[in-house]
Structure 1
Amino acid sequence: MSQRLILATRNPHKVTELRAILAEAGVTPDLVGADAYPEVPDVKETGVTFAENALLKARTLASATGVPAVADDSGLCVDVLGGAPGIFSARWAGRHGDDAANLDLLLAQLADIDTPHRAAHFACAAALALPDGAEHVVEGRLSGVLRHAPAGSGGFGYDPILQPDGPEDLVRGRTCAELTPEEKNSISHRGRAFRALAPVIRELLG
């Protein structure tokens, strides 16, 4: 399959990550990021759920370009904070995409919380929208516990503080930022969501 597919992001790490996830699922479109269409403005995430925001971004890009589009919205949900930062994860400290500030603020907020009460999960909604109006959305999750300090240099966002649940022979007490890209993709919320979406992409674009 070589049909073009747009991922609604200007983050090159996410494009690379999704390309690998889809390839592992046997789906190999001509995947590009939103930078390939600079005339299309960024979509404001006005939804109140991950699914709403993902569909909003995919729908807007597909309509504006006439090209099938996928989008995801994801974030960290901390049990003791009632699910926050949630949809506000990327701008928790006030400025969108400031990973270091977001990490510092969250760790400060949880400074007095002991490990048994630091449960959290990454959530991801992945959406596909076609120019003809067809849409599909799926969700994935990765549960774990938050470390008291960052560890690892891989990944992005809150990866350095979430130690995921998962096969002990894979995780071995490491954070998401200490996993290799392949290890992370095999268990991540984004990996699970987009693997679930891959057969739909194959069917609708094939």
Structure 2
Amino acid sequence: MAQVRPYGGVEAAERLADRRRRFIDAGLELLGGEAVPADLTVRAICREAGLAARYFYEGFTDKDQFVGAVFDAVIAELAATTQAAVAAAQCAEQNRAGMANIVHAVASDARIGRLLFSAQLSNSVVAAKRAESGVLLAMLYGREIGMALRVDQGERASRKGMATAHFAVGGVGQTISAWLAGDVDLTPDELVDQLAAILDTITRPRLHGGD
């Protein structure tokens, strides 16, 4: 295989990664900005990224794949930092640590909140990605609930844990969406307190006495 020469001292792989990062940043700006474009076009994406159209098709087959890649990149980063925050916290403070990381990330960059939670963003790919990520988070949280409650991992316990997990994940998402829309008048720290208290109640063993 012929070796690709560096251009301007930058290797081909680095240039490709840099262009992809610029496209992802452009997608977050367009999808998570205050004024969502009625019709997201490749031309608009390239203009925001400052790159030619040929580079768009170097990394993405079409607009739908691009939107999916933007969502995946944003939620992967948020999930990684949230997981790290939870892992670093004491057991009793893990719900608070997770909620604090999510709320503060949304508060510091409103684009993230709009992309992941805002009801005003009606892009069909984003809607599908939200559902997909919600199922994954519910599965992970369901496992954590089972561990917290020390329940047997039987079929019935598993069903109950998953039901609780879907309720928790859906409730958190809906609450953050309402907060972003201004329907919940709380400061970021007050929102963290409220969400953490609710999750603590859900995972408190004494409230789940028996079948």
Both structures adopt the same fold (TM-score exceeding 0.5): no
TM-score bracket for the superposition, by shorter chain length = under 0.3
Larger radius of gyration: 2
